[in-house]
Amino acid sequence: MKAMIILNPSSGKEKAADYAEKIEETLRNQYDDIDIRRTEKEGDAAAFATEACVALYDAVIAMGGDGTINEAINGLAEQAHRPALGIIPLGTVNDFARALNIPLDPYEAISVLDGQNLQPVDIGKINEHYFANVIAVGAIAEASYSVSPELKTRLGSLAYFMEGAKSFLNGEAIDICVEHDNGKWEGQTFLLIAALTNSVGGFEALAPKASVNDGKFHAFIIKKMSVPKIAALIPSLMKGELQESEEVEYIRSSFLNVTSGKHHVVNIDGEEGEPLPFKARVLQSHLEVFVPENGK
């Protein structure tokens, strides 16, 4: 049995080496060979994960934030052999870990590996890239790129919320066309957000009907509206009732094709992605992930 630990040394407030040592100690109960790979630049985590697939590793343990997890998933996706994926969350938001009830405390997350309890989960494919959690289009999504690392460290997911609120209040809307399982939607929107899980930007109630392997995107199109209506929408967002608002179009679909007449860039798992148009689809139950037993 072989396992690979992919470690982002810049995550975890310089405790990453201690966490790696603890993971290695935990994995010794199950695996004969354990390799530790440290990322140095963008793309390393994806390359290491693909190497683990080709070499027929049994498990890949990714340590880092949502960006590192996203890279590891891109390395694993659609390979002939896909090792089980372990997640040790060391980032600001850690949406994928939240959705799978993986503890946000790194040492508690490491203890999950000892149980060897696996859950099949969906991943998304957008054009030729893969993602674990969410894609978004609109000025609010693009505003997240301007959040500084210092602000993310200080405020966590609240930093993204603050930048998004500024865009909302500026009243910036975009024209888009969205094709989906049940037809097509066209119009002006402040934000299109399509989630694979219930946790988006640290808000665990955004898509309460989403499960990690239902084979569907849960998409919310927030239509153009006045500032008072925007303010009235916030409680619905916090309570997980967004889909019930008249100002929101809720779409449940296995695919989304999105176009726009102007230049807009899609946000993929919190990172700047590629310009529209895009085609996205769900790869159902595509990866197996280590999760707590009984979901706790």
The region, left, alpha or beta by phi > 0 then psi within -120 to 50, assigned to residue 236 is alpha
Q: What Å distances lie between residue 244 and 4, 109, 225, 249, 294, CA to CA?
A: 44, 35, 16, 9, 30
Residue 156 corresponds to which tokens in the numbers above? 């966590």
Residue 132 CB contacts under 8 Å (≥ 6 apart), including other chains: 66, 69, 70, 73, 95, 96, 121, 123, 124, 196, 197, 269
Instruction: Report cis status (omega within 30 of 0) of the bond before 292.
Output: no
Q: Tell me, yes or no, if 42 is annotated catalytic.
A: no
Residue 123 CB contacts under 8 Å (≥ 6 apart), including other chains: 73, 77, 130, 131, 132, 196, 282, 283, 286, 287
The region, left, alpha or beta by phi > 0 then psi within -120 to 50, assigned to residue 155 is alpha
Catalytic residue among 271, 272, 274, 293: 271
Helix (H, G, I), strand (E, B) or coil at 33: strand
Strands 278-290 and 255-259: antiparallel
Q: What is d(CA 55, CA 6) in angstroms, rounded to the nearest whole number?
A: 15
Residues classed as catalytic: 271
